[in-house]
Homo-oligomer: A and B are copies of this chain.
Amino acid sequence: MYRTHTCGELRLADAGKTVTLAGWVQRSRAMGGLTFVDLRDRYGITQLSFNAERDKALCDQANELGREYVVEATGTVKERESKNNNIPTGGIELVVTELKVLNAAKTPPFTIEEETDGGDDLRMKYRYLDLRRANVRKNFELRHRMAIETRNYLSAQHFLEVETPVLIKSTPEGARDFVVPSRMHQGEFYALPQSPQTFKQLLMVAGMDRYFQIVKCFRDEDLRADRQPEFTQIDCEMAFVEQEDILQMFEGLAKHLFKSVLGKEFTEPFPRMTYDEAMRSYGCDKPDLRFGMKFQYLTPALSQGEGGMPLTPGPSPGERGADLARGHGFKVFDEAELVVGINAEGCAGWSRKQTDALIDFVKRPQIGATGIVFLKWTEEGLKSTVDKFFTPEQLQQWAERCGMKQGDLLCIMAGKADKTRKQLNELRLHIGDLCNLRDPWTFSPLWVVDFPLLEQDEESGRWHAMHHPFTAPKPEDAHKLESDPGSVKANAYDLVINGTEIGGGSIRIHDRALQEAMFRVLGFSDADARAKFGFLMEAFEYGAPPHGGAAFGFDRWVSLFGGRSDIREFIAFPKNNAGKDVMIDAPSPIDAEQLKELGLEVKG
């Protein structure tokens, strides 16, 4: 037994007890004949005290302890003279009578403090030291807690956690598969699952009724900060359900997590918004509703079919109103398909430097806009950057349509409809940041519903499944699947929190003929569809129930609840942007013997 207590549990009530603690030396201070050592473990920090007058040898021993040494200390708990109210153990200290060094430590390459001096690369190479930092460790306590609460909630709702295989079949669709060469069947490969989609559907055919799994998934994609080659999802499926049943169930899960993990109670139903409305009012399918700044249209925006963008319509015909932007000689507007603005409340006082910075922001190549037209409403009235083209009355019409009041700043962008909405969405989020409207501890959940079933690749003209090829068209649209694919909506939905897509799902196809039609629309040959998904289509013929489900990005959900955007902070041993684990040095070459056994040769 190395310890009787942890470093986080002793209190004043324990004074007088003889105890043994074990942990890491956080810091030590020698002052006169006294030495104080902060001993740290996962549970907290306890002060050890040594007195040279009482025991010189022991005090000398304490003075030799380096940072991060692992020690075991026995002594008596004593009330502290100067208490530290910042930590729960701050009322006491351990007057040490016996000290044992369990392991020495080299000086760590960065400080083990919440604010560390270690850069990203160094922290990842020594991730086991990085994880000692209290704020990093807390991310994993949060992750554990969320997993436990998720499982207990779903289990209470009669979901069974069923493990689906990791070594499956390669069916590249969208992202690339990671593959695993088979030694026993040379020239053949397993693939790692991008998701357990087909297996969870088979579990519904199998009558499991309600399935879930917190499961690793794999995608061989080029990486970004919020993408990892392996990631974890909460994967769920239910039989005999309609969309409403699924939304209710997972709204329940989300509310349970909010309450049990963050102590936040949502008594009202989560708002819902159609995909069309989200695109029209926020220019994206995952609007951040912590703040307003809805899009306001100065042109009678496009209706379905106009401008080649049938999937991102403008306001409904009734809302269109007059064209307030075009036909006044301002070329940028006159040539635009769309002129649309957002009203930044209370920002009329922003300086020229500040508004120029906004223009620089949208001109960055990632956004690629050409500029912003501003309309300020200050004490002196309305003032725009395009005064020479528009009369005060016309500007007044803008202000009215956009719901401005004195003190506001209207930011207007113009151009091709689809692109302009995307750019204005970026600007909206940026202004939200600048105005501190995106507090990470305020949560604004939203269901986005009625997604289109398909989207068309601009270049190839090919249709792609917006969610995946197993999503069912809405029954009333099914007949148009092959004749007018672009107009078909799906019972597909996303859960969006604070502008982050936490997850989503759909009602699935459970009929062989419909699934075959879907594959045809997606450009699969019959032979190809059968080779890749024949087992699923065959299963549909043996009594497949109606079913649907959802999957939630667990890394992302945890990071959202942890108030951070970088999911790597919530993954114990993440890969870097080159897909490398720099700590263990993976991937790496393998023995020639291993390659030979697999019947493979590396080219080049």
The answer to whether residues A587 and B242 also contact, given A144-B162, A599-B602, A600-B602 and a CB cut-off of 8 A, is: no
Contact A545–B103 (Cβ < 8 Å): yes
A11 at the interface (CB under 8 A from B): no
Residues of B near A545 (CB, < 8 A) are: 22, 24, 70, 102-103
B residues near A131, Cβ cutoff 8 Å: 203, 206-208
> Which of these, B184, B216, B578, contacts A579 with CB under 8 Å?
B184
Of A185-193, A277-285, A307-315, the stretch lying at the interface with chain B is A185-193
Q: Mark A558-601, 1 if CB is under 8 A from B, else 0.
A: 00000000000001110100111101111111110010011111
Flag whether A434 is at the interface (Cβ < 8 A): no
Whether B163 lies near A587 (C-beta < 8 A) is no
State whether A572 and B203 are in contact (beta carbons under 8 Å apart), knowing that A43-B209, A140-B208, A179-B594 are contacts in the complex: yes
**One of A352-360, A372-380, A443-451, A535-543 at the interface:** A535-543
Cα-based distance from A240 to B510 in the complex (angstroms): 54
Which residues of B lie under 8 Å from residue A184 when comparing CB positions? Answer: 222, 578-579
> Which B residues are in CB contact (< 8 Å) with A1?
242, 244-245
| Bound Cα distance from A29 to B444, whole angstroms | 55
| A199 contacts the other chain (CB 8 A) | yes
Q: Which residue of chain B lies nearest to A207 when distances are taken between CB atoms in the complex? A: B132
Residue from B169, B189, B240, B581 in contact with A581 in the complex, judged by beta carbons closer than 8 Å? B169
Cross-chain contact A588 with B188 (CB below 8 angstroms)? yes
Q: Which residue of B lies closest to A223 (CB)?
A: B184
Contact B511–A103 (Cβ < 8 Å): yes
Which of A147-155, A457-465, A490-498 lies at the interface? A147-155
Does A331 interact with chain B (Cβ within 8 Å)?
Answer: no
**Is A220's beta carbon under 8 Å from chain B?**
yes
Question: Whose C-beta in chain B lies nearest to the C-beta of A214?
Answer: B163
A residues 11-35 near B (Cβ < 8 Å) are 22, 24
Q: How many copies does the complex hold?
A: 2
Q: Is the CB of A579 within 8 A of B182?
A: yes
The answer on a CB contact under 8 Å between B601 and A601 is: yes
Contact A128 B187 (CB under 8 A): no
Specify which of B137, B140, B586 is in contact with A168 (CB 8 Å cutoff). Answer: B586
Q: Is A36 an interface residue (CB 8 A)?
A: no
Residue A334 interfacial (CB < 8 Å): no
A604 beta carbon closer than 8 Å to chain B: yes
| Cα distance, A403 to B591, chains bound together (Å) | 57
Residues of A participating in the B interface, judged by any CB pair closer than 8 Å: 1-3, 6, 22, 24, 40-43, 68-70, 72, 102-106, 108, 126-132, 137, 140-141, 143-144, 147-148, 151-152, 155, 160-170, 172, 176-192, 198-199, 202-203, 205-209, 216, 218, 220, 222, 229-230, 232, 240-242, 244-245, 510-511, 535, 539-546, 571-573, 575, 578-581, 583-591, 594, 597-604
